[in-house]
Amino acid sequence: MTDILMPALSPTMEEGTLSKWHIKAGDTVSAGDVIAEIETDKATMEVEAVDEGEVLEILVAEGSEGVKVNTPIARLSGDDAAPAPKKADADKDEPKAEQADSPEKEAATTEGEGAAPVTPKVALKDPEIPSDARLVKTTIRDALRDAMAEEMRRDDRVFLIGEEVAQYQGAYKVSRELLQEFGDKRVVDTPITEHGFAGLGVGAAMAGLKPIVEFMTWNFGMQAIDHIINSAAKTLYMSGGQIRAPIVFRGPNGAASRVGAQHSQDYSAWYAQVPGLKVIAPYDAADAKGLLKAAIRDPNPVVFLEHEMMYGLEFDVPEVEDWVLPIGKAKVRREGTDVTITAHSRMVGFALAAAEKLAEEGIEAEVIDLRTLRPLDHETIVESVKKTNRLVSAEEGWGPMGVGAEVVARVIEHAFDYLDAPPLRVHQEDVPLPYAANLEALSLPGVDKIIKAVKAVTA
């Protein structure tokens, strides 16, 4: 015998009206036959038989209202080959309570950085630079190019795809000479089709390749954000660990010069919120190279935010075999005792310049280059604030819900008692970036705004 139960027709349905029976005792039904109609407050729906057999008895009469889900409504004869499924609530009681105070969950909460697997347990360290290593003045543009070229030589699964990356040599010349060395199979010019080629890249990564997807600017990457988040970041989890997406999305980010609001935006906070992604925003050429190489090798999807205004700037890059830096490690760029300034990307330069000016007035600022935004190295920040007792965060993006908001929250969670003043955030004004030169300058954060904030917290 098999009982036919009152079905739920939506995730929220608890009861309904059994408005009509299409069968009666003595009828024979097969799987797929419509046997009844059920009415909820939203709709009337047909119920089909799943089992076959003779109808022995109708248990709930036509027209009955308020029939609870999972109440037996009819009885079928049958050979019981298919055991009637148990009710859902029967085995749902215990795990709930257990979950609430599971040690894992508790650990995760107190960790702050919830994503336990990415919070590095081994201390991350930059590689030692041998004393005899030559330091070579290199533009960020070339450092990025060198990183890609080295990784493409090392691993033939790595390829670069994007608009104007091949024949044009890159809209910002970051892929200069890569086509010549690697050919058009591995340096692929695309149509103007960000959503499409980002999705194609993720698919290729799922199939085991290691794509570097270049967006001409991250502003255009917004067309592809669904694939970055829904397809790349979430699939490992949704597949129970089966499907990886080892892919790097890279390109210029942040405010450019006089190009207006649609071409000037900092996406740091957008991507740094997403579990499954790693997010890197380097400042100098050595970090750009070492972190891009690390990003390409990483088995996870990485968002790599370069700065549009910095490609041509030169910095020292150590001439060592295989310069790879750890993802998830901030760098103390300047030591100081009076205030901690956190920054990433182009703002690091402004923070350092501000620190020099402040030093002239006797304020010694410690400048921390975040380098990686996810996972965020809050240990380095917290250690610094425990020493300086004051915090200013600086970022180019908008303030609300931003990187600075997160930095401040972490410091409050982990070093509240050490703070001698409320932390301050320096960021872009809360407006789309204007075109007019004077308004643009007013909108963007820079050295002066950092100095002002530092003076406010140290006053």
Active site residues: 194, 263
Rank residues 201 and 397 by Cβ distance to another protein and give the closer one. 201
Query: What is the contact mask toward another protein in residues 6 to 35, using x (rule: CB under 8 A)?
Result: xxxxxx-x-----------------xx---
Query: Least CB distance from residue 18 to another protein, whole Å?
Result: 13
Nearest to 421 by CA among 455, 383, 380: 455
Q: Residues 1, 61, 135, 238: which binds another protein (CB under 8 A)?
A: 238
Which residues in the 324-363 window bind another protein by CB under 8 A?
A: 327
β-sheet with 424-428: strand ranges across: 331-334, 365-369, 339-343, 391-398, 424-428
Q: Residues 61, 82, 431, 436: which binds another protein (CB under 8 A)?
A: 82
Nearest to 303 by CA among 263, 247, 256: 247
**Range in contact with another protein (rule: CB under 8 A) among 36-44, 249-257, 311-319, 384-392:** 36-44
Tokens of residue 27, six digits: 């009828």
Q: Residues 70, 112, 316, 414: which binds another protein (CB under 8 A)?
A: 70
Tokens of residue 18, six digits: 């059994």
Tokens of residue 101, six digits: 């105070």
Which residues in the 415-454 window bind another protein by CB under 8 A?
A: none
Rounded Cα–Cα distance for residues 456 and 459 (Å): 5
Q: What is the DSSP string of 237-297?
A: HHTTT------EEEEEEB--SS--GGG-B--HHHHHT-TT-EEE---SHHHHHHHHHHHHH
Q: Residues 298, 314, 383, 429: which binds another protein (CB under 8 A)?
A: 298
Rounded Cα–Cα distance for residues 217 and 208 (Å): 26
Our finding on whether 81 is near another protein (CB under 8 A) is yes
Our finding on whether 208 is near another protein (CB under 8 A) is yes
Query: Least CB distance from residue 149 to another protein, whole Å?
Result: 19
Our finding on whether 91 is near another protein (CB under 8 A) is yes
Q: Residues 53, 170, 199, 290: which binds another protein (CB under 8 A)?
A: 199
Rounded Cα–Cα distance for residues 379 and 5 (Å): 56
**Range in contact with another protein (rule: CB under 8 A) among 195-203, 279-287, 311-319, 355-363:** 195-203
Rounded Cα–Cα distance for residues 229 and 224 (Å): 9
Our finding on whether 75 is near another protein (CB under 8 A) is no
Query: What is the contact mask toward another protein in residues 38 to 67, using x (rule: CB under 8 A)?
Result: ----xxxx-xx-x-----------------
Rank residues 105 and 137 by Cβ distance to another protein and give the closer one. 105
Tally of CB atoms within 10 A around 67? 16
**Range in contact with another protein (rule: CB under 8 A) among 187-195, 255-263, 351-359, 441-449:** 187-195
Our finding on whether 85 is near another protein (CB under 8 A) is yes
DSSP type of residue 86: P
Q: Which amino acid is at 334?
A: R
Q: Say if residues 47 and 38 touch (Cβ distance below 8 Å).
A: yes
Rank residues 185 and 417 by Cβ distance to another protein and give the closer one. 185
Query: Least CB distance from residue 394 to another protein, whole Å?
Result: 28
Q: Is 152 helix (H, G, I), strand (E, B) or coil?
A: helix
Rank residues 98 and 360 by Cβ distance to another protein and give the closer one. 98
β-sheet with 44-48: strand ranges across: 44-48, 34-39, 15-21, 64-68
Rank residues 31 and 135 by Cβ distance to another protein and give the closer one. 31
**Range in contact with another protein (rule: CB under 8 A) among 272-280, 381-389, 401-409, 445-453:** 272-280
Q: Residues 117, 122, 123, 321: which binds another protein (CB under 8 A)?
A: 117
Cα dihedral 334, 335, 340, 343, rounded to 10, equals 20
Query: Least CB distance from residue 441 to another protein, whole Å?
Result: 37
